[in-house]
Amino acid sequence: MNTKLTAGIVILCICFGIGTWSIVTMPKSGRTILHLPYLFIRPTERPIPTPTARPVLVQPVRVPILMYHYVEIVKDPKDTIREGLDILPKTMDAQIATFLSHGYTPIFMSDLAAYLDGKGTLPDKPIVFTFDDGYRDFYTDAYPILQKYHVKATSYVVPGFLDKPNYMTKQEVMDIASSGLVEVAAHTVHHVSLKGISPQLLHAEIYGSKTQLEHLIGKPVIDFAYPYGSYDSAAVIAVSAAGFRTATTTRPGIIQSPDYRFTLLRLRPGARTGTYLISWLESIKK
Ligand SMILES: [Zn+2]
């Protein structure tokens, strides 16, 4: 083949090659690409990946979590511990009436959990009524008041104490759990102070209380309270690892933050009622 013919063929091939390369602007993404066989095959658009859900930025929120222990008329005048933790049923009744008349909406701890997860909204003036320890009087004295006003509450139950004197029976816990008014939550198996205890005991008391209560009531138990308000970082990690979604302390405060969902703040309403109760609550800023 002579040289001129060879050179001609090479130049022809180069020109054809350049001609078939095309600058293509993709219609959806707007990206410009260099595409070879555009003359023959229309390039397929690369699918735009569906954006993965970004974590929702949840703002700290003002939610009073009120803490109750005994609600009864203490019969033994020497029982000063009980008296110190007690409010009279008529006081609790008056407090609930006051909160409702001032536009507060009772919610469960699990409602706050959903909000902190970025999955739920809260009513205008949310409030949580929590009752610690699963005492008998929750069933005999507090629960009827909740029913009277149709008010939601969260009851922190100690499963190892059920059916013992002074505590609710298993049947009573099943009753309140199925009422729709009371959310059953956990408070360790034996009301143990969690600070500084072994990892094995932490697991047994925290995870054990969740599974025992779930087995009893047939519903998820996702909220926890530290007995005596006692916890350390190992306890917080164990509560989270057990699958709980919130945990409350006895530290006072009203602003609940997703960063502190396992060390939430609570308030003791004491015997305050009426406008004194409301002005006390509304004076609390953090
Ligand atoms: Zn307790």
Q: How far is the CA of 157 from the centre of ligand 1 (A)?
A: 8
Q: How far is the CA of 131 from the centre of ligand 1 (A)?
A: 9
Q: What domains does the chain contain, in order, with CATH numbers?
A: 3-39 (no CATH), 61-283 (3.20.20.370)
Q: How far is the CA of 187 from the centre of ligand 1 (A)?
A: 7
Strands of the chain, DSSP E: 22-25, 32-35, 61-62, 65-68, 70-71, 86-87, 105-106, 126-133, 153-157, 182-186, 223-225, 246-252, 255-256, 264-266
Q: How far is the CA of 129 from the centre of ligand 1 (A)?
A: 15
Tens digit of each residue's pLDDT, the chain (286 residues)? 565 655 655 554 444 444 444 454 444 444 554 444 444 444 445 555 555 555 568 899 999 999 998 887 777 777 777 666 778 899 999 999 999 999 999 999 999 999 999 998 999 999 999 999 999 999 999 999 999 999 999 999 999 999 999 999 999 999 999 999 999 999 999 999 999 999 999 999 999 999 999 999 999 999 999 999 999 999 999 999 999 999 999 999 999 999 999 999 999 999 999 999 999 999 999 9
DSSP 242: T
Looking up tokens 């072994």 gives 198
Q: How far is the CA of 249 from the centre of ligand 1 (A)?
A: 10
Q: Which of 222, 233, 261 is nearest to 118 (CA)?
A: 261
Q: How far is the CA of 44 from the centre of ligand 1 (A)?
A: 64
Q: Can you give 47-103 as a three-state secondary structure string?
A: CCCCCCCCCCCCCCEECCEEEECEECCCCCCCCHHHHHHEECHHHHHHHHHHHHHCC
Q: How far is the CA of 81 from the centre of ligand 1 (A)?
A: 13
pTM of the model: 0.79
Rounded Cα distance between 86 and 71, Å, is 6
Q: How far is the CA of 281 from the centre of ligand 1 (A)?
A: 23
Contact 246, 58 (CB under 8 A): no
Q: How far is the CA of 132 from the centre of ligand 1 (A)?
A: 5
